[in-house]
Structure 1
Amino acid sequence: MTPFAYSHSFARQRPPLARKAQAMAIATVIALTSMAAAAQAPGAAVPTESAMVRLIQGLVQSGALTKDVGEALLAQAQTEAMAQRQAQRQASAAAPPASALQAQAGDVRVPYVPQTVRDGIRDEVKNEVMAQARSEGWAAPNETPEWAKRIRFEGDLRVRNESRLFSGGNSNEVVNYAAINSGSGYDVNLNTTAGLPPLLNTRQDRKNQWRARARIGLVADISDNTHAGVRLASGSDDNPVSTTQTLGNGLGKKNIWLDQVWLSHRLMDSVTLTGGRFSNPFVTTDMLFSNDLNVDGVALQYSKPLPSNKDLTLFGTIGIIPLEYSSDSFPANSLNKAASENKWLLGLQAGADWKLNERNRVRGALAYYDFKNVSGKVSGPCALYAGAQACDTDWSRPAFMQKGNTLMMLRDIALNPADPANTSQPQYFGLASKFQLLDMNLRWDTKVAGNYGLRLDANYVRNLAYDENKMFQRARGGIVNNYGANASLTPGKADFRSGGNAYMFQATFGKPSPSARGDWNVLAGYKRIEPDSMPDGYNDPSFHQGGTNARGYFLGGSYAIDKNTWLTGRWMSTKEVYGAPYQIDTLQLELNARF
């Protein structure tokens, strides 16, 4: 017998409901034929085909079966009925009549469909229904597309209550040079100035300020070797060291910034190249680089265990980081444009992470950071009185600064010959020192008091380019800060107080990064950051409210109240290293969560 076949391509073109109806109809026919085959025995009376014919014709008329499928079924039913009658005649001629084989009242005779034919129909209907189920998404509702499995989201949230407490004996003459540099300059001529320069608050407490931080990122595994990421973050402004948003402000909406955008490729098993804007690739502490700091540029990172000792891993990083580009159109209103002046950070670090045994692990790293073209430069004679809108070294002022570095005046302002005493002299300020940093980091993780974790961190930074004589030569005598508390009204080099060293110690008892409910830690540490040990624009903005020329201790602790949810408390007591009194105590209470 030849099994019937219906048009599969036509069935695929039918609407989903029609296909379902057709599948139901075919299944009904198969079921009836199967029952008939099971009930039929050799020698039975020749069955009538009228019931089957009427059934098929009814299905065709109702639209449950297409005409071509119905005709195929009718043809097969008739063919098999004729074959069955022929077989019965032959069986009757070869065997004596037997009353047991005679048809009984109520018997139903239907054509026999071979098992192979039934299996073929079943498989074809099954494939059709499963194809429809996959296209409509109801066969496996929890299944996700392959590309979605290569994308993951991650982020963290923090709500903080912060109080800053200032000593009543603090100097109230701490100039806010960052505010000056972001404006049109400050007139240093006492005959023409409009008043005092912008000053920092140093005596009035700021209590119970509510602040929040939110970061959410997407990481895509493009392949086994190539990955990409984008992260958004909160923040009160675009400064590089903090993504914390101060709340309040009349309940106004808060800002969202592009915090990271990067692409990385693994060149070989132990070497990865990353470019864009990404997390700090160097092993550091927040004494030098804030924990919130991201860097721009490219970084090449190496990490590989020693073949002879899998517990000892060597690592290294090379970073090329653009800090600032001068404007293409500087000076804006001049026919003659300045040459390109770009600022860079070139970093090189090497280190090792050694698991000594089950209770002890040591990590050490040595780095060199060269901040290129960041120091200030005195301009050529600048005739602002004659209508000049800028001086040729205005670009050398820092794009972002906190406080602490030694600063110098940048503009050599020409005096109006007609009235030199009353010539306005708006100044910008730049860094007096160069910065070439040697950075040494050491960490020891061990177990004490049974099985409690203890982590000891030490960090030392030395500015190899620190040189007081060169600073005064570069400034041409225009140093404006970092003089001793008892300096004269016209201070000189003898009154100057600065330094090029910084160090930090910290001990953490418990689990350094709480993640499971009940995890906890307590910590204590001390920092001393001399004024020109590092650029003041990139370190922790909480310790002494950011920057350099700061020393003091800090205490803290954390407790996980749930999975990846923990409370943190932190107390910092800081004061100046040199200069006028400036003491700040800071209390921070936080609820943190990550996902």
Structure 2
Amino acid sequence: MNPSAIHPRTRCTPHITRAPRTRRRAQALALAVALLAAGGGARAQTAAAPGDSTMVKLIRGLIESGALRKDAGEALLAQAQTEAMAAQQTQRQLATMQTSAGTGAGAGAVTGAAAGAVTAAALQPGDVRVPYIPETVRDEIRDEVKVQVMAQAKAEGWAAPNEMPEWTQRIHVEGDVRLRNESRFYSANNSNIEIDWAAINSGSGFDVNPNTNLALPPLLNTRQNRTLQWKARARLGVLADVSESVKAGVRLATGNDNSPVSTNQTLGGGLAKKDVWLDQGWLSYQPFEWVKITGGRFGNPFVSSDTLFSNDLNFDGIAAQFDKALPNRDVSLFGSLGLIPLEYSSDGFPGNSQDKMGSENKWLLGAQIGASWKVNDDNRLRGALAYYDFHNVSGRVSDPCALYAGATSCSTDWSRPAFMQKGNTLMLLRNIALNPLDPANTPQPQYVGLASQFQLLDVNLRWDTKVAGKYMLRLDGNYIRNLAYDPDEMFARANGGIVNNFGASGGTSRADFKSGGNAYMFQATFGKPTPSARGDWNVLAGYKRIEPDAMPDGYNDSTFHMGGTNARGYYLGGSYAFDKNAWLTGRWISTKEVFGPPLSIDTLQLEVNARF
């Protein structure tokens, strides 16, 4: 900027005043640098004294505000004053010589000579000589001021318009969207009296007395196909690096209801808006590189297949995970511990009683240990062994409850599952007292609970290898055994109130009971297991068998046999990435019951997925 361009009447102060203080200082510094770099500033100025005075005041203001170091500012001030005085003296002498020489052809020559003489003239008595500041010193001052300005601007995050503030670099956004077309095909030979036990538990109970209730219980659809249903899933998560050791995350997801095992949203519904749920919300602390502790609502901390835990299932509570590589670096050990609250007893139960029930909380206690071994460049093995104790989840028969006399609940209503799919052996929970005045016509609304206890041993194995030197092949195996499965104990706990999982004879005795406590899965995936780059692909095939009481039926994959246990069958599928982080998937699943009445379900799913 040329100082001669700064008119005496130009007012820059209001503009600087409106900016924040730190920006005013930086702007002033930048202006000073520009004035100095322009070739000495006042040296080229031809204006009168008021312009010089403005520049001097500007430099003094910078010194007083602290934007310029005092020594550097005084040097600039001295140079500006000296050059201003010299310019004024030169103008006066040139004006005098032009007046004496008059006008004409020789006037220009005289003026030029006079100008040179005046410039070289000695100082008059009373003038003050200020030493000349070398250009190297001016450059050093300019560079120092520039460094100070840029350091301050970078610290405050406003100087570089293309750079984001520091806190934004610690926030990460991720998500995915899936559009699915699903068709379900039911066999015409299926049983059409499959009771929807979950619907009974979510209501006010089902009256099992045929004298007071002639209606059928709620029943599942088992024969009518459901084709070309469109479903969507959308998830959006925000992750924050609070510090090097502390992280936090929040994720929202779609969903038809509060089911823990599915975030699918069925489209249609009169084009009504769709629900969004809190899918995750957690904090984690990593005291060491190989240990992480997470609390809140978070993703599955255990290595498992969807035979036991759905891929959409999230866990509440607290979990600790470790992953430590051994010295040779080809083998690493990992493990997890989880304390997961499944359900808390209500503070106010029973609602119409002065005496409230004690604490009857339900928990999942999980522990897992495993190892991963890189055999060579083409082969990797992984194995994990886990134990899961589903504490206090089995049903209990209540104390006698006189519902006919005005009671609104029974003492063990809390023991019915908060969420269930289908397959587990169930028992009646209520011991309903009969009205002595009319016992045959006493309504008996019942809830159901889990007849078995669940203490699971879970073994997971995986082998990653390559075929023909370049094609990836993954083999997965999973075996689950319910160590607490005991049919005799189940019948004793139910006191004769077992309601399902009987054979085709129609009997309901112990001899007619059909169940089991084992589950297993095998799966082969050929190609890249998780497509991400354009052109990635895979095909897979697998088989599952889940006996009725191998695990709680509320937490596994909601697609295989429409969720739950007492299911066996195969599945085929494949995926192809048509663009980066975007892929197509097709899947065919064919299942039937393990024990009991016939229930065959075939499912076709076609999907478009995108991840960001």
TM-score interval for Structure 1 and Structure 2 normalised by the shorter chain: 0.7 to 0.9
Q: Are 2:473 and 1:468 equivalent residues in the alignment?
A: no
Q: How far apart are the structure 1 equivalents of 2:334 and 2:419?
A: 31
Instruction: Rate the CA distance shift 1:321–1:57 in 2: closer, same or farther, 3 A.
Output: same
Please tell me the residue identity of whatever aligns with 1:176. Answer: D
Please tell me the residue identity of whatever aligns with 1:104. Answer: A
Please tell me the residue identity of whatever aligns with 1:529. Answer: I
Q: TM-score, normalised on structure 1?
A: 0.86
Q: Give the Å deviation of 1:30.
A: 6.6
1:144-193 CA-partner distances (Å, limit 9, x unpaired): 22222122111111110000110111111000000000000000000111
Q: How far apart are the structure 1 equivalents of 2:167 and 2:190?
A: 59
- Structure 2 equivalent of residue 412 of structure 1: 431
Structure 2 contact 42–84 (Cα < 8 Å) conserved: no
- Structure 2 equivalent of residue 545 of structure 1: 562
From 215, 222, 225, the counterpart of 2:245:
225
Please tell me the residue identity of whatever aligns with 1:535. Answer: P
From 510, 518, 521, the counterpart of 1:493:
510
- Structure 1 equivalent of residue 367 of structure 2: 348
Structure 2 contact 455–482 (Cα < 8 Å) conserved: yes
Please tell me the residue identity of whatever aligns with 1:295. Answer: F
Q: How far apart are the structure 1 equivalents of 2:459 and 2:242?
A: 36
Q: Are 2:155 and 1:140 equivalent residues in the alignment?
A: no
Q: TM-score, normalised on structure 2?
A: 0.84
From 534, 541, 551, the counterpart of 2:551:
534
Please tell me the residue identity of whatever aligns with 2:113. Answer: Q
Listed as ranges, the matches of 1:303-382 within 5 Å are 303-307=323-327, 309-382=328-401
From 201, 207, 214, the counterpart of 1:187:
207
1:196-236 CA-partner distances (Å, limit 9, x unpaired): 11100000000000001111111112222221111111111
Q: How far apart are the structure 2 equivalents of 1:487 and 1:403?
A: 20
Q: Give the Å deviation of 1:449.
A: 2.9
Please tell me the residue identity of whatever aligns with 1:521. Answer: N
Which secondary structure state, in structure 1, belongs to the residue aligned with residue 283 of structure 2?
A: strand
1:380-409 CA-partner distances (Å, limit 9, x unpaired): 001000000000000000000000000000
- Structure 1 equivalent of residue 311 of structure 2: 291
More off after superposition, 452-461 vs 221-230: 221-230
Listed as ranges, the matches of 1:91-170 within 5 Å are 104=113, 107=116, 109=119, 113-115=132-134, 118-119=138-139, 122-123=142-143, 126=146, 130=150, 139-170=159-190
More off after superposition, 314-323 vs 139-148: 139-148
More off after superposition, 275-284 vs 15-24: 15-24
Q: Give the Å deviation of 1:524.
A: 0.6
Structure 2 contact 456–481 (Cα < 8 Å) conserved: yes
Q: Are 2:213 and 1:207 equivalent residues in the alignment?
A: no
More off after superposition, 131-140 vs 468-477: 131-140
- Structure 1 equivalent of residue 476 of structure 2: 457
Please tell me the residue identity of whatever aligns with 1:483. Answer: F
Q: How far apart are the structure 2 equivalents of 1:117 and 1:76?
A: 17
Please tell me the residue identity of whatever aligns with 1:57. Answer: P
Please tell me the residue identity of whatever aligns with 2:379. Answer: N
Q: Give the Å deviation of 1:450.
A: 3.4
1:504-549 CA-partner distances (Å, limit 9, x unpaired): 1111111111111111110111111000000000000000000000
Structure 1 contact 25–59 (Cα < 8 Å) conserved: no
Which secondary structure state, in structure 2, belongs to the residue aligned with residue 466 of structure 1?
A: coil
Q: Are 2:533 and 1:516 equivalent residues in the alignment?
A: yes
Instruction: Rate the CA distance shift 1:103–1:312 in 2: closer, same or farther, 3 A.
Output: same
Structure 1 contact 18–64 (Cα < 8 Å) conserved: no
| Backbone CA RMSD of aligned residues | 3.1
Structure 1 contact 463–534 (Cα < 8 Å) conserved: yes
Q: How far apart are the structure 2 equivalents of 1:58 and 1:182?
A: 86
Structure 2 contact 371–383 (Cα < 8 Å) conserved: yes
From 292, 307, 311, the counterpart of 1:272:
292
Q: Are 2:417 and 1:401 equivalent residues in the alignment?
A: no
Q: How far apart are the structure 1 equivalents of 2:425 and 2:267?
A: 33
More off after superposition, 474-483 vs 311-320: 311-320
Q: How far apart are the structure 2 equivalents of 1:268 and 1:18?
A: 45
Q: Are 2:600 and 1:594 equivalent residues in the alignment?
A: no
Q: Give the Å deviation of 1:59.
A: 5.9
- Structure 1 equivalent of residue 582 of structure 2: 565
Q: How far apart are the structure 2 equivalents of 1:196 and 1:18?
A: 80
Q: How far apart are the structure 2 equivalents of 1:291 and 1:25?
A: 63
Instruction: Rate the CA distance shift 1:71–1:355 in 2: closer, same or farther, 3 A.
Output: closer
Structure 2 contact 421–553 (Cα < 8 Å) conserved: yes
Please tell me the residue identity of whatever aligns with 1:409. Answer: L
Please tell me the residue identity of whatever aligns with 1:313. Answer: S
Q: Give the Å deviation of 1:74.
A: 7.0
Q: How far apart are the structure 2 equivalents of 1:18 and 1:352?
A: 60
Q: How far apart are the structure 1 equivalents of 2:150 and 2:331?
A: 54
Please tell me the residue identity of whatever aligns with 1:170. Answer: N
1:237-270 CA-partner distances (Å, limit 9, x unpaired): 1111011111111111111111111111123232
Structure 2 contact 516–550 (Cα < 8 Å) conserved: yes
How many residue pairs get matched?
Answer: 551
Please tell me the residue identity of whatever aligns with 2:167. Answer: W
1:304-331 CA-partner distances (Å, limit 9, x unpaired): 1112x21111111111111000101000
- Structure 2 equivalent of residue 171 of structure 1: 191
Please tell me the residue identity of whatever aligns with 2:334. Answer: F
1:485-517 CA-partner distances (Å, limit 9, x unpaired): 2223xx211111111111111111111111111
Structure 1 contact 305–312 (Cα < 8 Å) conserved: yes
Instruction: Rate the CA distance shift 1:199–1:112 in 2: closer, same or farther, 3 A.
Output: same
From 581, 585, 589, the counterpart of 2:598:
581
Instruction: Rate the CA distance shift 1:551–1:32 in 2: closer, same or farther, 3 A.
Output: closer
Q: Give the Å deviation of 1:125.
A: 6.5
Q: Give the Å deviation of 1:112.
A: 7.9
Please tell me the residue identity of whatever aligns with 2:305. Answer: T
Which secondary structure state, in structure 2, belongs to the residue aligned with residue 104 of structure 1?
A: helix
Instruction: Rate the CA distance shift 1:180–1:114 in 2: closer, same or farther, 3 A.
Output: same
Q: Give the Å deviation of 1:483.
A: 0.6
Q: Which runs of 5+ in 1 are unaligned?
A: 1-9, 37-50, 85-101
Please tell me the residue identity of whatever aligns with 2:389. Answer: D
Q: Which runs of 5+ in 2 are unaligned?
A: 1-12, 62-75, 91-110, 121-129
- Structure 1 equivalent of residue 82 of structure 2: 76
Which secondary structure state, in structure 2, belongs to the residue aligned with residue 354 of structure 1?
A: strand
- Structure 1 equivalent of residue 466 of structure 2: 447
Which secondary structure state, in structure 2, belongs to the residue aligned with residue 180 of structure 1?
A: helix
Q: How far apart are the structure 2 equivalents of 1:173 and 1:128?
A: 81
Instruction: Rate the CA distance shift 1:109–1:130 in 2: closer, same or farther, 3 A.
Output: farther
Structure 1 contact 25–64 (Cα < 8 Å) conserved: no
Structure 2 contact 337–366 (Cα < 8 Å) conserved: yes
More off after superposition, 560-569 vs 25-34: 25-34
Q: How far apart are the structure 1 equivalents of 2:288 and 2:150?
A: 43
Between the aligned residues of both structures, percent identity stands at: 65
Which secondary structure state, in structure 1, belongs to the residue aligned with residue 306 of structure 2?
A: coil
1:121-144 CA-partner distances (Å, limit 9, x unpaired): 645764687589669966312212
Q: How far apart are the structure 1 equivalents of 2:159 and 2:240?
A: 27
Structure 1 contact 518–562 (Cα < 8 Å) conserved: yes
